[in-house]
Amino acid sequence: MQSEGWSSQRLYRPFVRASLIIAVVLGFSTGATILIMPVLGMDRNLTWVTHSQSHGVVQLFGWVGLFVMGFAYHVVPRFFNSPIRYPLPQKVSMWLVVLGLVLRFTGQSVYKTTFGDPLVLAGGILLFAGLLVFGWTLLEVVRRAPSRSGVSEMWAMSGIFWAVVAGALHLTVTLRMAIDSAPLADAGWNEALIYVATFGFVSSFIFAVSARAVRGFLLLKPMYERVNLVAVAGVQFGLVVLVVSRFADLTEGVASTGLILAALGVVLYVYSLRVLEPASGPVRRFAVGYERYNLLVRSAYGWLVVGCAMLIVTALDDAGVTDVMPAEVSLPVMHVFTLGFITTLLFGVASKMLPIFEGADIHHPRLMDIAYVFVTISVILRVVFGFSISAIGEQALAVSGGVGFIGICLFAIVAFQTMTEAARASYAVRAAEFGQVRFDQARRPTSSPLNLK
Ligand code: HEM
């Protein structure tokens, strides 16, 4: 293992590729298929539910988890100004997560056979091992860091901690499935796992990157740092309460309290980031990446606030305090977070940061436009038709699955294309031309101002 020269490595590349392949081949494809099946007259039977659970795990730890891990390996050492060991831990953690997910997915799909239980358990062990290597590698970075007190640093540490906890919870869930020879994960434990992965692992890293890089790109007004401290505490405390309540089988009211605290923490973070306020000034820079990334980032945070509001009302209903939300038929709240917030945000951040990391151009920005529109339509349909069963509702949900799947395929094309030699070459030519213009202008100070677009 080496630690010198880490900063010239592009450790995120295999992670981004693996995440997109898993998203297209296993995650979104399964989600779309199980939404289309009821329209074709198939029941929401046990096999439907086993696939929806394995879809959820593959999406959270595969599509999103691998993407976040790849970006985290790249940005966390930079945030902490501290070197990282490479490339063995990165390779090992990626393959452990990929294999773990494939085994969990396959095991739950063949639950009727004798292979089901051992495969599910092996998946749980490998996924946990992968997240442990990930957490351990980044903890080493944190340990050597000269300072750990900034906003990004705090959220990054939260992300590292909850990534390992999420892996441990998943292992516990799969262990119980294997011991009981149960085709499905325990509902309460599964819920805790999903929110730990969503808010604790994934969102913490997203918040870390937002507080540093996204804030700079969008020229946001100065952050409310004290509010952010309350936000960090709310998310941590809320998740601990949720996990304890579900695993100790406490009352619904305790679990709801945990969810509400975590959701309030998340809303406070959005407020402290000021991402939904106008920028502090015009952004005038040499254009790199997808030019509408700011719309995507802001829409994503808009969805996050909507999702938290829905989650708080749902949790109050579950605790018996209110009776406002209709029963869910297709997890609309969950998909406001996972599709509306996380997926849109990854589209936005990646379409800006991948070209910067790579020194590359995006060749087909129109595909990004369509990907964004399709994912947004997918979430809207999910919310509008996710609360009641009707013939038109089933068809709308099927459309939601189809357009969401096309959206991820288009994004995958753009992302793969950005990591090519051709994309780097065209960027190099454009940057050289820009440099030449700037040089000429510097020699003729009276000439008209630079057009940065
Ligand atoms: C077009 C995209 C998507 C489609 C069509 C889709 C579809 C589904 C369906 C049909 C279910 C079963 C629950 C139900 O609807 O009643 C489900 C559950 C779930 N989905 Fe998605 N989904 C999509 C995207 C995502 C993404 C991007 C994520 C995460 C990043 C995600 C995470 C989950 C989770 C965690 C569950 C719950 C699984 C469980 O109950 O254990 N989904 N999805």
pLDDT digits (tens, 9 = 90+) for 29-67: 999 999 999 999 888 899 999 999 999 999 999 999 999
Question: Residue 449 pLDDT > 70, yes or no?
Answer: no
Contact 405 CB / ligand 1 (< 6 Å): yes
Distance (angstroms) between ligand 1 centre and the Cα of 115 equals 25
Tell how far the Cα of 331 is from the centroid of ligand 1, in angstroms.
7
Q: State the distance from the centre of ligand 1 to the C-alpha of 25, rounded, in angstroms.
A: 15
Q: Is any ligand 1 atom within 6 A of the Cβ of residue 82?
A: no
29 lines ligand 1 (CB under 6 A): no
**What is the CATH code of the structural domain delimited by 1-204?**
1.20.210.10
- The predicted-structure confidence for 249-298, as pLDDT tens digits, reads as follows 999 999 999 999 999 999 999 999 999 999 987 766 777 889 999 999 99
Instruction: Dig out the tokens for 4 from the structure.
Output: 């010198």
Quickly tell me which residue has 């000429």 as its tokens: 440
Least confident of 68-72, 143-147, 283-287: 283-287
Residue 444, CA distances (Å) to 285, 362, 434 in order: 20, 32, 15
Find out whether the beta carbon of 52 lies less than 6 Å from any atom of ligand 1: yes
d(CA 362, CA 350): 11
Instruction: Give residue 3's pLDDT.
Output: 47
Q: Which of 3-7, 156-160, 322-326, 375-379 has the lowest mean pLDDT?
A: 3-7
* Residue whose C-alpha is closest to residue 198's, from 26, 339, 352: 339
pLDDT digits (tens, 9 = 90+) for 117-144: 999 999 999 999 999 999 999 999 999 9
Distance 279 CA to ligand 1 centre (A): 33
Distances (CA, A) of 216 to 91, 209, 285, 343, 450: 31, 10, 12, 21, 21
Mean pLDDT of 98-119: 97
Lowest pLDDT segment from 222-236, 255-269, 433-447: 433-447
pLDDT of residue 446: 55
Domain ranges of the chain: 1-204
The set of long-range contacts for 349-352, using a CB threshold of 8 Å and a minimum separation of 24, is 349/71, 349/206, 349/209, 349/213, 349/214, 349/293, 349/297, 350/16, 350/67, 350/411, 350/415, 351/289, 351/290, 351/293, 351/296, 351/414, 352/217, 352/288, 352/289, 352/290, 352/293
Atom of ligand 1 nearest to the CA of 401: 5
pLDDT (0 to 100) of residue 445: 58
The larger pLDDT score, comparing residue 148 to residue 82, is at: 82
Cα 142 to ligand 1 centre (Å): 33
> Which is the closest atom of ligand 1 to the Cα of 63?
30
- At 236, the pLDDT band (50, 70, 90 cuts) reads very high
In this structure, are residues 376 and 299 in contact, taking their beta carbons and an 8 Å threshold?
yes
Q: Give the chain's end-to-end CA distance (angstroms, integer).
A: 43
Task: Please answer whether residues 353 and 415 qualify as being in contact, where contact means their C-beta atoms are separated by less than 8 angstroms.
Answer: no
Distance CA 163, CA 266 (A): 17
User: Which residue matches tokens 């096999």?
Assistant: 47
Closest C-alpha residue for ligand 1 atom 17: 52
Residue 220 pLDDT > 50, yes or no? yes
User: Three-state SS for 182?
Assistant: coil
Ligand 1 binding pocket includes 258 (Cβ within 6 Å): no
Quickly list DSSP for 234-256.
HHHHHHHHHHHHHHTT--HHHHH
Residue 107: per-residue pLDDT: 98
DSSP codes of every residue in 336-385: IIIIIIIIHHHHHHHHHHHHHHHT---S-HHHHHHHHHHHHHHHHHHHHH
- Is residue 28 in contact with ligand 1, taking CB distance under 6 Å? yes
Q: What are phi and psi of 265, to 5 degrees?
A: -60, -45
Protein residue closest via CA to atom 16 of ligand 1: 330
Atom of ligand 1 nearest to the CA of 407: 1
Q: Which helix (H) or strand (E) holds 13?
A: helix 12-22
Measured from the CA of 403, which atom of ligand 1 is nearest?
Answer: 1
Q: In the prediction, which pLDDT does 453 show?
A: 43
Tokens 């490339």 sit on residue: 87
- In which residue are the tokens 């101002």 written? 449
User: Ligand 1, from 25, 50, 55: best to mutate by most atoms within 8 Å of Cβ?
Assistant: 55
Task: Give yes or no for a contact between 219 and 278, defined as CB atoms under 8 angstroms apart.
Answer: no
Nearest Cα neighbor of 199 from 251, 170, 235 is: 235
Please indicate whether residue 53, judged by its CB atom, sits closer than 6 Å to ligand 1: yes
What share of the chain has pLDDT > 90, as a percent? 83
Mean of all residue pLDDT scores within the chain: 93
pLDDT at 15: 98
| Predicted local distance difference test score (pLDDT) of residue 329 | 81
Instruction: Give the separation between CA 211 and CA 157, rounded to whole angstroms.
Output: 14
Question: Which residue's alpha carbon is at the smallest distance from atom 34 of ligand 1?
Answer: 56
- Write the DSSP symbol of residue 6: G
- The verdict on the CB of residue 59 being under 6 Å from ligand 1 is yes
Ligand 1 contact, 197 CB (< 6 A): no
Write down the pLDDT at residue 244.
Answer: 98
Give residue 292's pLDDT: 95
